[in-house]
């Protein structure tokens, strides 16, 4: 009797899968969150917003992020991470596009909230999916995780930095709705490969993890350091263009700084991969936060285009390396069945801290009469976080 066996399908190229997951990060962490900074000056001028109102919208985004991160932690017990990644990616693209439809603050708050919630689903699961690709190779895993967060977000910032400032400069402040529609269209182009990568990482559904509770008390320095990251980094990426508008920077200068920022973010994994591969405690996160703090303060301490360019180099070379730092820490210190829950816990802590940052920074900017005071305050918070993270020891 002849038996027929189904030929085995060759596993997909892990680097191609990683590219698709990076496109998910490009949408959920790049376009969804940071396009707002470039569109904000036009929205403020056209709609007459204060800095506090402008900051509130990113706070609404962060509140959605909290809900999405908490939902991810709970949903991972019943729903696979690749499915959560896909749902979050599709919903984020729709919410970005809808942001250009209605100008009222209430509607804008709703779209930013939904963008944050859906983005958290994809962002919190992307690291878990990427960690599976090179599970037996620490060096390639560290590089892959760095590429996931760095290339996706950096490419997004280069795209919007090269596109949105010239468009708004030519069409005027009233064209800000079209900026959101264009941003959503870029996100839609990323869907096919991103969704394919999520399917390619699908594994048989595992039972509810039985590894016990996370050792969160022993992880407190790393958690607190990541909270400092959430408090501080978002101020720069929310108000950088507003600070440049205060300094009468030209459209070309704004585009140049943002493209350089995105390029440095894209290349940053090559700078930090050795650090992540060598250390399993809190030193990598502490080093990253120190560099972000310096980059945040430079535009104020060194006014002018030179300071902005150096700031973009330093900030861009470090800002998206905080998520790889905690992902690598999780991978090296916890069993594989705990990775999803641990990364989701870090995401919740980060999201709560991120909620406070933009609105508080906007109030401080209104009070001081300049958003530069908020950039310096953010730098101080990042340095405090770095000091705490340095106390984290390997588990």
Taking 70 as the pLDDT cut, the residues of the chain under it are 1-11, 135, 138, 203-212
- For position 34, what pLDDT does the model report? 81
φ, ψ dihedrals at 86, nearest 5°: -65, -45
Q: Is residue 209 part of a domain?
A: no
Into how many domains does the chain fold?
1
CATH code, 73: 1.20.1250.20
Half-sphere exposure of 216 (CA within 13 A, CB side): 13
Mean pLDDT for all residues in the chain:
86
Q: Is residue 6 part of a domain?
A: no
Residue-wise pLDDT tens digits, 160-217: 889 998 999 899 999 999 999 999 999 999 999 999 998 988 755 544 444 567 888 8
Q: Is residue 4 part of a domain?
A: no
Residue-wise pLDDT tens digits, 352-372: 888 888 888 888 988 888 889
Nearest to 260 by CA among 375, 158, 148: 158
Residue-wise pLDDT tens digits, 227-262: 999 999 989 988 888 899 888 888 899 899 999 999
- For position 212, what pLDDT does the model report? 65
Residue 283 belongs to what domain range? 14-202+216-389
Q: Is residue 3 part of a domain?
A: no
Question: How far out from the chain centre does Cα 251 lie?
Answer: 25
Q: Is residue 211 part of a domain?
A: no
In the 3-class helix/strand/coil scheme, how is 281-344 assigned residue by residue? CCHHHHHHHHHHHHHHHHHHHCCCHHHHHHHHHHHHCCHHHHHHHHHHHHHHHCCHHHHHHHHH
The answer to whether residues 338 and 49 touch, using CB atoms and an 8 Å cutoff, is no
């Amino acid at each position: 009797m002849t038996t027929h066996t189904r030929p085995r399908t060759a596993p997909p190229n892990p680097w191609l899968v990683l590219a698709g997951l990076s496109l998910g990060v490009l949408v959920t962490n790049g376009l969804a969150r940071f396009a707002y900074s470039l569109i904000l000056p036009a929205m403020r001028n056209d709609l007459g917003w204060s800095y506090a109102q402008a900051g509130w919208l990113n706070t609404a985004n962060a509140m959605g992020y909290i809900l999405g991160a908490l939902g991810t932690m709970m949903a991972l017990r019943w729903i696979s991470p690749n499915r959560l990644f896909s749902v979050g990616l599709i919903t984020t693209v729709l919410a970005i596009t809808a942001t250009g439809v209605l100008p009222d603050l209430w509607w804008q708050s709703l779209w930013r909230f939904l963008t944050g919630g859906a983005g958290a689903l994809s962002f919190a699961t992307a690291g878990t999916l990427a960690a599976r690709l090179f599970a037996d190779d620490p060096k390639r895993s560290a590089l892959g995780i760095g590429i996931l967060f760095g290339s996706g977000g950096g490419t997004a910032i280069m795209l919007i930095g090269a596109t949105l400032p010239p468009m708004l400069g030519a069409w005027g402040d009233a064209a800000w709705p079209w900026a959101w529609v264009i941003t959503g269209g870029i996100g839609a182009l990323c869907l096919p490969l991103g969704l394919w990568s999520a399917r390619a990482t699908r594994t048989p559904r595992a039972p509810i993890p039985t590894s016990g509770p996370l050792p969160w008390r022993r992880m407190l320095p790393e958690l607190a350091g990541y909270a400092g990251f959430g408090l501080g980094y978002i101020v720069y990426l929310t108000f950088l263009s507003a600070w440049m508008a205060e300094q009468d920077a030209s459209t070309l200068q704004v585009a140049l700084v943002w493209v350089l920022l995105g390029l440095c973010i894209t290349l940053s994994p090559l700078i930090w991969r050795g650090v992540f591969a060598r250390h399993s405690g809190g030193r990598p996160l502490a080093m990253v936060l120190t560099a972000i703090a310096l980059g945040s303060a430079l535009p104020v301490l060194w006014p002018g285009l030179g300071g902005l360019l150096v700031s973009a180099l330093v900030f861009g070379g470090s800002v998206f390396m905080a998520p790889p730092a905690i992902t690598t820490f999780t991978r090296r210190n916890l069993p594989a069945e705990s990775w999803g829950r641990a990364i989701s816990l870090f995401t919740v802590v980060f999201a709560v801290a991120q909620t406070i940052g933009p609105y508080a920074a906007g109030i401080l900017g209104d009070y001081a009469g300049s958003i530069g005071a908020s950039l310096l305050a953010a730098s101080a918070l990042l340095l405090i976080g770095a000091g705490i993270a340095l106390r984290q020891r390997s588990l």
